[in-house]
Each structure stands twice: as structure tokens, then as C-alpha cells.
Amino acid sequence: MYFRRIFVGLDLDQSDQSSDEFVPAIARHLVERGIEIAAAQRGDMHLCAVIDGLDLTRVPVTPQQVSAFGGILSERLDALADEARGAEVDCETSLLGGHAWQELLRQADEWPADLILLGAGSQPNQFGPTALRMMRSSKCPVMAVRSVVREDDGEPLHVLIADDLSDSCGELLQTFVGSGLWRDAKCWLTHVVEPDRWPEAWHGGLSTDDLAQRQTVRVESARLRLHEHLAPTDHRTMNYGFLANVAEGAFSTTLRRLIDEWKIDLLVCSRGSRMDAVLPHVPCSVLCFPQAPIPNP
């Protein structure tokens, strides 16, 4: 898979006046990142903004006021699109009204997009509802970007790829490496092996030594599987290579500890029940891939 059609969901609310022309800093960062990806992949961009919750029967404004506000947002969209075209990236725009996550998903699906970029929300350790719904429902990968970025201290981007050992995670890894977009990143390929549940072990009549031996086998099996996922990729083209790591512990707390310990800037993962429970509180940017559909028997 290549990320050749980049769909950027923008919040162009003028409450953030920290950047020129009243364009929020995170919106400008998303557009710049979208241009970078589209240019590298020789692709196209679509910039989309939604007047969230627009319903003239419930909001205390006149149609003329909504039209004027829409005109302001359209001008901002056009100005950002002109920047993309100036970088020789074909770009189109759309301004919609309704519930942001529903309209963004519909428009991205109709376009159709290979990758969705959007802001993660304003809270430093919590994703906004729009980003969460997009990551959980999109048919294509979604990259939710934090507004706080690594300072220019000479360190490369730190990326943690959470591998659940499934075939779809192997495909995810091939897409991530094959895109060439993160070649300069320092990457950890990680799987978390959770401990055996004691009630199940007790019913099975396992001793403490049996449990320890079984855990050792599970860890080694996971390590081999990670290397199987790496083998068909072009991981040797990565400037810092890959560190394959198997961690032990409860999934949520262990993953969060590793993100903090390794100062991760980007978590790459696929959807799933365990990851869905972690995502709301991830403190870094996230690139989330949809799960592969389960084939009918």
C-alpha cells in the first residue's frame, strides 16, 4: 500500500490565534505534513473542514451569519490548498456541515483516501472524541497528530510499532517500512506477552515451574514471530534499523510504560479490543490501521 491520496481533516476555528492568518497551528502542521507525504508518494491531497454540529434549527445564529462564517473557512481552506499546489501537489477542498467524525469519514470514503490525517485533540494525555471515532471506524489508516512535537535536539523520531503477531500486523509493518516515510526514525517493534491467568492455570493443574516454563516458551515464540514479520520487509533500508522487543506484563500498563520510557513520538498499531482500550490515553501521535476483515468460512 502507498499513501498516495492524503485526506486531511482540519479544525479551522479561529480561537487559536497563535499562527498567521488565524489558522490554528495544528491545522497548519497537518497541512505541511500532508504535503510532505503526498510529495514523497507523488500523490494528491484533499483538505476538509466541518462546521461541527451545524443545525440551523438549534443554533442561535442566522443563516447569514453561518454563511459569513463558512466564507471565512472557505478562504482559509483555499489559501492552504494554494500552498499545497505551490509545492506541486494536486489539492482539492471541501467544507461541510454536520457531525465532524461522520462527515469526515463519509467524505474520506467517497474520495477515496489512502490515509487520513487529523489532530489528536487539545488534551495532552487524552484523544478527542473525533479522533477516537475516526480511528475506530475508518476503512483506511488514520494518523492522529499531537500538536506537541519533538524539539529540534538532533534526535530522530521515536516510533513504537505494536505487533499483535497476526498476519494483518505483518502487512501493517510492510506498509510502514515500504512507504519510506519514516526511514530516518528510530523504531521499536514490540509485542506484549501477558502473564497466564491464575484461575485458568489452577484448573489446569499447573505448578509454578510449569507456568514459568510456559511463559518462557510464549516469549520466545513471540520473538520468532516478530522476526518473521520483519524478514519480508525492507527494514535494512531504515537508517537506525529495528529493535525487536518482547515485553511482559499487563498490556495497557506495559505499553504505556514503554511509550514513556522510550519517549515515543508515534505509536503504530492496528485496531482491536485491547488497543481500543489503550488509545484514549496515549500521550503521543498514533498511526492506526484498520483490522483485516475476517474471511467467511
211-238: per-residue pLDDT in tens?
788 889 999 999 999 999 999 999 999 9
Q: Check residue 153 and give its pLDDT.
A: 62
pLDDT for 20 equals: 47
Place of cell 516478530: 226
What's the total number of domains in the chain?
2
Same domain flag for 183 and 96? no
Verify that 57 and 162 share a domain, yes or no. Answer: no
* Domain limit, last residue, from 116, 145, 174: 145
Phi, psi dihedral angles at 165 (to 5 degrees):
75, 5
pTM score: 0.88
Whether 188 and 249 map to the same domain: the answer is: yes
Does residue 121 form part of some domain? yes
pLDDT at res. 262: 96
Q: What is the pLDDT of residue 23?
A: 77
Q: Are residues 129 and 185 in the same domain?
A: no
Note whether 232 and 285 are same-domain residues. Answer: yes
Q: For the residues 248-254, what does the mean pLDDT come to? A: 94
The answer to whether residue 152 is domain-embedded is no
Q: Is the pLDDT of residue 61 over 50?
A: no
184 and 276 share a domain?
Answer: yes
136 and 183 fall within a common domain: no
Q: In this structure, is residue 224 part of a structural domain?
A: yes
- Does the residue 96 lie in any domain? yes
In a domain, 296, yes or no: no
As given in the structure block, the three cell numbers for residue 58 are 438549534
Q: Which residues contact 86 (CB under 8 A, 6 or more apart)?
A: none
Kindly state whether residues 68 and 11 are assigned to the same domain.
yes
Residue after which a domain boundary falls, among 80, 111, 145:
145
**240: containing domain:** 158-289
CATH code of residue 29: 3.40.50.620
pLDDT, average across residues 271-277: 87
Q: Within a domain: residue 282?
A: yes
The candidate with the shortest Cα–Cα distance to 253, out of 216, 278, 287, is 278
Of 145, 167, 186, which one is at a domain's C-terminal end? 145
Instruction: Please report the beta strands in the chain, taking only residues with DSSP state E, as ranges in sequence order.
Output: 5-10, 44-52, 91-98, 115-119, 142-145, 158-162, 186-193, 242-248, 266-270, 285-289
Q: Say if residue 249 is in the same domain as residue 120.
A: no
At residue 22 the predicted structure's pLDDT band, cuts being 50, 70 and 90, is: low
Asked if 44 and 38 count as a contact pair (C-beta separation under 8 A), the reply is: yes
Do 123 and 12 lie in one domain? The reply is yes
User: Is 297 among the domain residues?
Assistant: no
76 plus 199 within the same structural domain:
no
SS3 assignment, position 54: coil
* Burial class of residue 86 (count of CB atoms within 10 Å of its CB; 0-12, 13-18, 19+): exposed
Same domain, 19 and 126: yes
- Domain membership flag for residue 294: no
When pLDDT is cut at 50, 70 and 90, the band that residue 68 belongs to is low
